Amino acid sequence: MTPLILQLSQGGQAVSWIHWRDAVLYYAKDQVAWTLGDQTLRFYGGVNRVSNARSYMDIHPIIAVQGDQGRSVFGTVPTLNNRELFQRDGHTCMYCLTSLGDRHLTRDHVVPISRGGRNIWTNVVTACRACNQRKADQLLSETNMRLHAVPYTPNHAEWLILRNRHISADQMAFLKAQCPKYRDVQVS
């Protein structure tokens, strides 16, 4: 797995994960404003026919791109999908607290859509198939089930953590500094 590079705006706001090839282009076009990270990643290019030397470029794990003022991510809601939902909830059923693999987990709407609930971060939790079927389209007050964690909407930095399974220590430290102090983002 080739590691992804964390792209920042020139002002230091985390923007997105980019492929190393895109980072190489920013370096080649002299569009990297500044970098972070102790360990660089070396990527090799072609061989010079005259000198027989192979070209390479060292890329930092975090790069700020010139001219990118950043999109205002404050107040924006990250895209909801099962992969990040299961990551947010630590691959654990929020009803019976059983930890399972993705294919054995489902998305449960705390307030069912049939009862006026919405498909939003604050109304969905990870559930095993058995708990999801047992709850069906009932409200929690109509069942003997208990929700063990309050669903929340991740901020942009948390969402970036949830989106990437291979984060370097430098990238994680940078992103965690932008996460609310009262939440610990699950990384598996």
Predicted local distance difference test score (pLDDT) of residue 170: 94
Residue reference for tokens 């700020």? 64
Predicted local distance difference test score (pLDDT) of residue 89: 96
> How do the pLDDT tens digits run along the chain, 188 residues long?
678 999 999 888 899 999 999 999 999 999 999 999 988 989 888 898 999 999 999 999 999 999 865 565 556 788 899 999 999 999 999 999 999 999 999 999 999 999 999 999 999 999 999 999 999 999 999 999 999 999 999 998 999 999 998 899 999 999 999 888 766 555 44
Counted residue by residue, the chain has a size of 188
The domain ranges of the chain are 5-73+163-176, 82-142
- Just give the CATH number of 82-142: 1.10.30.50
Beta-carbon-side half-sphere exposure of residue 38 (alpha carbons within 13 Å):
5
Q: How many CB atoms lie within 10 A of CB 72?
A: 9
Predicted local distance difference test score (pLDDT) of residue 179: 87
Q: How far is CA 121 from CA 39, 76, 78, 125, 159, in A?
A: 35, 12, 9, 8, 11
The closest alpha carbon to 107, from 162, 151, 144, 164, belongs to: 151
DSSP designation for 76: P
